[in-house]
């Protein structure tokens, strides 16, 4: 399919690669992945052309700004990352759009930077790499806390989505992974973190207060679709303090969208579409951590009606992000 739009596609600043350098330097593929994170114009555009991807919405890679303990540094680095992204978009505005990187360590500063990115830089929403650390390494801050309500209100006013991207749990809280490092990050831990965070947002009443908010989850929904029935079933039988007026599946089907990023498996895709509906699904690759050709070929060759492929591959994103494409 020509004209696909992808929206979990990453870039990096040299300054924010320390965590990935430490965790991935032993992997055979890391040097190539690192080179691709720092490249926007050459390798990336060629791969987009080769695989029928018209436009990507670029975002700063995980954990990025969210691992910076010093609030002032987080604010400054998020501005640098967003300014660099805006410069790259300006060179190829027909091929690139942007998600804001935000200093969630300070909710007011996050609102200020979100506003600048959308109003001045023309970005299409925000992608945040999961929970934020602040002041001390052993800190995990989720955005269901009351101090983040003004941030969510501001985002709702812009009527643009928030991409909840996963990150690896910090080492001080990773006891369950001890001796099993293969589970620690993207193979398993990513989905654990992103799904817990998303369900916390629902449980906090965020979408009752701000019903227009739209959240995006990658990797076919971070495994949540497969447990929606059980979430509703068990909470109904044992509420344990859940007081929302609707079951969790209601919010998932009205306030969440899911992408194919990094989960190129037909049966899982079909199940997720059946649970969420075609209008809630979008194509993505997760470049450069995944291979563009693999993700695009899988999507293009999978059996589905032509109108469904067009919606998931392109038009759902055009509508959600208010894209003006030829």
Task: Report strand pairing: 4-11 vs 126-129.
Answer: unpaired
Q: How far apart are CA 113 and CA 109, in angstroms?
A: 6
16-20, 144-148, 154-158, 170-174: which range is least confident on average? 16-20
223-262 pLDDT per residue, tens: 999 999 999 999 999 999 999 999 999 999 999 999 999 9
DSSP E strands, 176-310:
215-217, 256-259, 281-282
Question: Into which CATH architecture does domain 4-321 fall?
Answer: Alpha-Beta Barrel (3.20)
Assess whether pLDDT exceeds 70 at residue 23: no
Residues in the chain, total: 326
Q: How far apart are CA 205 and CA 188, in angstroms?
A: 27
Assess whether pLDDT exceeds 80 at residue 18: no
Beta-carbon contacts of residue 108 (< 8 Å; ≥ 6 apart)? 150
Q: How far apart are CA 40 and CA 57, in angstroms?
A: 12
State whether the Cα torsion 107-15-186-4 is positive or negative: positive
**Confidence (pLDDT) at 33:** 84
179-210 pLDDT per residue, tens: 998 998 899 999 999 999 999 999 999 999 99
39-92 pLDDT per residue, tens: 888 899 999 999 999 999 999 999 989 999 999 999 999 999 999 999 999 999
* % the chain with pLDDT above 90: 86
Q: How far apart are CA 152 and CA 275, in angstroms?
A: 26
Q: Which residues pair with 163 in a beta bridge?
A: 127, 216
Six token digits for residue 315: 């038009």
Q: Residue ranges of the domains in the chain?
A: 4-321
- Max distance between CA atoms of the chain, in angstroms, equals 55
Is 120 assigned a catalytic role?
no
**Confidence (pLDDT) at 34:** 85
More confident residue, 13 or 299: 299
Q: Which residue among the candidates 286, 291, 300, 307 is catalytic per the annotation?
A: 286
Chain mean pLDDT for the chain: 95
State whether the Cα torsion 103-324-255-61 is positive or negative: negative
Task: Report strand pairing: 136-141 vs 96-98.
Answer: unpaired
Q: How many other CB atoms sit within 10 Å of the CB of residue 271?
A: 15
205: left (phi over 0), alpha (psi -120 to 50) or beta: left
Q: Structure pTM?
A: 0.96
State whether the Cα torsion 248-253-255-258 is positive or negative: positive
């Amino acid at each position: 399919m020509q004209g696909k739009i992808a929206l979990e596609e990453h870039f990096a600043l040299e300054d924010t690669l320390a965590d990935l350098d430490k965790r991935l330097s032993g992997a055979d593929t890391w040097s190539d992945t690192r080179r691709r994170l720092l490249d926007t114009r050459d390798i990336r555009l060629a791969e987009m052309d080769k695989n029928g991807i018209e436009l990507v919405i670029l975002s700063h890679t995980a954990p990025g700004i969210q691992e910076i303990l010093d609030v002032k540094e987080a604010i400054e680095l998020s501005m640098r990352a967003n300014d660099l992204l805006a410069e790259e978009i300006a060179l190829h505005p027909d091929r690139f759009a942007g998600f804001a990187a935000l200093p969630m360590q300070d909710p007011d500063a996050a609102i200020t930077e979100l506003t600048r990115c959308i109003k001045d830089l023309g970005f299409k929403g925000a992608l945040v790499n999961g929970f934020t650390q602040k002041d001390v390494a052993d800190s995990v801050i989720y955005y269901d806390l009351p101090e983040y309500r003004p941030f969510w209100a501001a985002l709702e006013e812009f009527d643009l989505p928030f991409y909840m991207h996963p990150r690896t749990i910090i080492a001080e809280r990773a006891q369950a992974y001890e001796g099993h490092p293969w589970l620690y990050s993207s193979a398993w831990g990513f989905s654990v973190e992103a799904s817990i965070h998303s369900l916390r947002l629902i449980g906090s009443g965020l979408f009752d207060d701000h019903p227009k908010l739209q959240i995006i989850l990658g990797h076919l929904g971070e495994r949540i679709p497969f447990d929606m029935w059980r979430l509703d079933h068990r909470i109904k039988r044992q509420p344990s303090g859940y007081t929302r007026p609707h079951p969790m599946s209601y919010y998932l089907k009205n306030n969440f969208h899911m992408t194919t990023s990094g989960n190129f498996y037909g049966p899982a895709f079909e199940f997720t579409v059946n649970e969420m509906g075609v209008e809630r699904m979008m194509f993505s690759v997760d470049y450069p951590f995944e291979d563009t050709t693999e993700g695009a070929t899988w999507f293009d060759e999978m059996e589905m009606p032509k109108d469904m492929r067009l919606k998931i591959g392109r038009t759902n994103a055009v509508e959600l992000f208010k894209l003006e494409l030829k």
